[in-house]
Amino acid sequence: MALKVGIIGCGTIGSELSRAIAEEMPELNLVALSDLKAEKARELAQRLPTKPQVLRTDELIDRVDLVVEAASKEIAGEVVEKALRQGKDIMVMSTGGLLGKENLFNLAREKNCRIYLPSGALAGLDGVKAASGGGIDLVTLTTRKPPAGLKGAPYIIQNKIDLNSIREAKLIFEGTAEEAVEGFPQNINVAATVSLAGIGPQRTKVRIIADPGIDRNIHQIEVEGQFGKLTSRTENLPSPSNPKTSFLAILSAIATLKGIVARIKIGT
């Protein structure tokens, strides 16, 4: 029997995941959608062959086997907790919302549920995860973005940074992953994801460079530990419909769902 899926957040990622489930994953049955703007969920539901129901977040969690969060950092922690308490698995895109709520991973173990975190716009997380088993001394994420991609971030507004006046690559932020997620909640889920895979949000260092000379988001991670050194660099093109979301992030979410489908097939 197909696994019942519900998606919370019908923007760029939610829409693409809905399309991928409908076209490529017959093992998943997308039964429900939810969005703060119900109209967006209704429009998306209309375009899908399975015509999922548009529900409130709580109703959706109630109705499905697998919850997909693709909405916002503000609700991610709450949605994960509600899903786990009902014994549901959940895939989380707004990973920044899990920082400071690492107890949710214990809850998942207690409830025998899974929290899936797609690798997002970053390569090399497998190495970070493996390395954390043997001791990591340092993790640094350096993110380069075109200035326009940082528009509207709380850190930019609070510090009155004029992005239009930046003429060459400029370091605009340096701090912990925890601080980066606060200052750039929509831009820097990669910082949250890498810190959850490695040494946590307080010890992971983040640098953000606004660079008018590039047309893509470039993430470089450097890790040093008992295993040696690891460097990975990912050059991301934005998704066509949302410059803040890298295309690879969408593809990583689709790949994670396909991994879940593969497990259903082999019965684990």
Sites of contact with ligand NAD (CB under 6 A): 8-14, 34-37, 40, 57, 70-75, 93-95, 118, 120-121, 186, 189-190, 193, 242, 245, 249
Q: Which is nearer to ligand NAD, 27 or 82 (CB)?
A: 82
Q: Whole-number minimum distance, CB 228 to ligand NAD, in Å?
A: 26
Which residue's Cβ lies closest to ligand NAD?
11
Per-residue H/E/C for the chain: CCEEEEEECCCHHHHHHHHHHHHHCCCEEEEEEECCCHHHHHHHHHHCCCCCEECCHHHHHHHCCEEEECCCHHHHHHHHHHHHHCCCEEEECCHHHHCCCCHHHHHHHHHCCCEECCCCCCCCHHHHHHHHCCCEEEEEEEEEECHHHHCCCHHHHHCCCCHHHCCCCEEEEEEEHHHHHHHCCCCCHHHHHHHHHCCCCCCCEEEEEECCCCCCEEEEEEEEECCEEEEEEEEECEECCEEEEEHHHHHHHHHHHHHHHHHHHHCC
CB of 156 to ligand NAD, least distance (A): 16
Q: Which is nearer to ligand NAD, 37 or 51 (CB)?
A: 37
What does the CA dihedral 104, 251, 24, 56 come to, rounded to 10 degrees? Answer: 40
What's the min distance (Å) between Cβ of 168 and ligand NAD? 27
* 219 given a catalytic annotation: yes
- Do residues 196 and 136 lie in contact, with contact meaning Cβ atoms separated by under 8 Å? no
> Which CB atom, from 93 or from 223, has the smaller least distance to ligand NAD?
93
**Minimum separation from the CB atom of position 2 to ligand NAD (A):** 24
Nearest CB to ligand NAD, comparing residues 29 and 193: 193
The distance of closest approach from Cβ of residue 167 to ligand NAD in the complex, given in angstroms and rounded to an integer, is 28
Pick from 255, 16, 263: nearest CA to 122: 255
The one catalytic residue among 88, 145, 219, 244: 219
Residue 225 or 244: the one with the smaller Cβ distance to ligand NAD is: 244
- Active-site residues, by number, are 219
